[in-house]
Structure 1
């Protein structure tokens, strides 16, 4: 397998679906030898057998992972990926993804592995197999039920609902920090921190007071609080006097 074919496999494993133009741009940005879009399209049209052996296929003008085609997820995944930027690791890191089983070992991965091996599966190697299966399910965007089915497959028996909740929390943290296809290789947390969080409107510095009113005392020109003296001069608090009358007008 030559270098460009290695890029095809690595990026397909990282993104699930790779448009020809994206593949060309990433390859050319990291290598002196350049490739044209015509050459990329020629590979799509005359697909090498060794790429198929690496679970990569030519499908509707894209390089697509076998799992996407097998489960008929192309349209759904393309819809989820739309408009999201691509995560592009450095060349050395990127080419590690030529291994279909490669994954980044994160703090969240280690936390879940430690919990599983300490509390659920004493065999550390067996515990790691389970956590790798869970991360793989997270990577392709499987539902949480499908992710949790891995515990059934490994015959894990939770001792209590509290323990199940602890595990669920660790699984969610792993899922939020796993590079997934529908985010074009970004983790959910990266997408939130870099692209969604900056667009969230900040809360006001002074929290909204649900007990406040919009009534103004015409003499002082100040807003009247519910517990302030009523401006009618009765000597009662506003909420005990004219508040109901004002709100009904």
Structure 2
């Protein structure tokens, strides 16, 4: 018997991979979409004046107008990965068999009217319509600018990595950071376009309201912004370029020793797989990154696991606290609580040392440096005599 869930899954698959012919005309490819989906293509490519058309008239207009808009509105912002996808389809004469993309990435190409996931002879493929194939071939030499694609790739990866550690930033803040990392000026409007397009292709980047870009894991950007502004005197944690690029990888999570210890501990007291334990600890780490309290993070574990006896519970709590205190938080501008505590302690020691050095000689009315002769007349340096 087919269950409701199985029926829904089949409906979803049929919608994502509709039956098609190969080669496919542009009109036939677009006819598989709903009127709302066609309208979405028109909106993404900023094609005006088509809102009153019925579905067939809209398809005919898009067949004519999409090639005029895709270079300006989307292709100019592509990185190397998206160009590689298109090149695979072009190399297959308009057909890419056994494609491997996420659902969001299939939708990215479909809802720009460029490439269409389809089923041909019971095989899943991605197709570029004949008319667009001819367009790509005619414009190919001028369309792909390797330098721009390389630049866009670096912009996207650095932005994703920075957002992993800092949570949320304005486009201008990100552009400034990326410029410093690359040593090259960043055109902010162009950069904004690259991020806008990347946000619909890559899971890590999310464009929020108010010219703000966030990592997709950030639950409450406004809370993060408020906490960061409360710490206005605190500079963002200094990251290396290699750290940033590593964090740009899909599904990246920073796994320190305390993270690994908690995974091992959960596996030791519960009959769960490494993947299950890792998934739970990742949820805890993500909650800590969002600035949640210890109680809130503990509830994540209690929702999935039966909490142990009191003695084991204490060990679990201690390990969870170690994880949380060592996890970089967006509200702390990329610092972990442990790092921020150490930073403040060093600043306090330096301030106290400076205060000790600010001793005024009663005779000269001048401040006495730590290497100056001690005013007591001992002949020793001040730091080795009366400073302490």
TM-score, with length taken from structure 1: 0.68
Instruction: Name structure 2 gaps, 5 residues minimum.
Output: 1-78, 80-152, 353-388
User: CA offset at residue 181 of structure 1?
Assistant: 0.4
Question: Structure 1's 47 and 114: CA in aligned 2 closer, same or farther, altered over 3 A?
Answer: closer
User: CA offset at residue 25 of structure 1?
Assistant: 3.8
C-alpha root-mean-square deviation of aligned residues, in Å? 2.8
Name the structure 2 match of 1:143: 293
- Alignment partner of 1:93 is 2:243: yes
Match of 2:269 among 115, 119, 124: 119
Query: Any idea what SS the aligned residue of 1:163 has?
Result: helix
Name the structure 2 match of 1:199: 348
- Alignment partner of 1:40 is 2:175: no
Match of 2:159 among 8, 25, 33: 8
- Alignment partner of 1:50 is 2:198: yes
Query: Any idea what SS the aligned residue of 1:73 has?
Result: helix
Partners of 1:20 and 1:195 lie apart in 2 by: 30
Query: Any idea what SS the aligned residue of 2:214 has?
Result: strand
Q: Return the structure number with greater relative CO, CA threshold 8 A, min gap 6.
A: 1
User: CA offset at residue 47 of structure 1?
Assistant: 5.6
Name the structure 2 match of 1:182: 331
Residue pair 2:175, 2:191 contacting (<8 A) in 1 also: no
Name the structure 2 match of 1:164: 313
Residue pair 1:135, 1:175 contacting (<8 A) in 2 also: yes
TM-score, with length taken from structure 2: 0.45
User: CA offset at residue 148 of structure 1?
Assistant: 1.1
Partners of 1:50 and 1:195 lie apart in 2 by: 37
Query: Any idea what SS the aligned residue of 1:150 has?
Result: helix
User: CA offset at residue 105 of structure 1?
Assistant: 1.8
Name the structure 2 match of 1:228: none
Instruction: Name structure 1 gaps, 5 residues minimum.
Output: 203-249
- Alignment partner of 1:29 is 2:180: yes
Partners of 1:58 and 1:184 lie apart in 2 by: 18
Partners of 1:19 and 1:170 lie apart in 2 by: 35
Partners of 1:111 and 1:59 lie apart in 2 by: 39
Name the structure 2 match of 1:227: none
Question: Structure 1's 52 and 11: CA in aligned 2 closer, same or farther, altered over 3 A?
Answer: farther
Alignment of 1:104-115 (within 5 A): 104-115=254-265
**Number of residue pairs the alignment of both structures matches:** 198
Query: Any idea what SS the aligned residue of 1:57 has?
Result: strand
- Alignment partner of 1:153 is 2:303: yes
Structure number having the greater helix percentage: 2
Question: Structure 1's 117 and 46: CA in aligned 2 closer, same or farther, altered over 3 A?
Answer: closer
Cα shift readout 1:138-188 (whole Å, capped 9, x = no counterpart): 11112222211221232x223312221211111111111111101111111
Alignment of 1:125-136 (within 5 A): 125-136=275-286
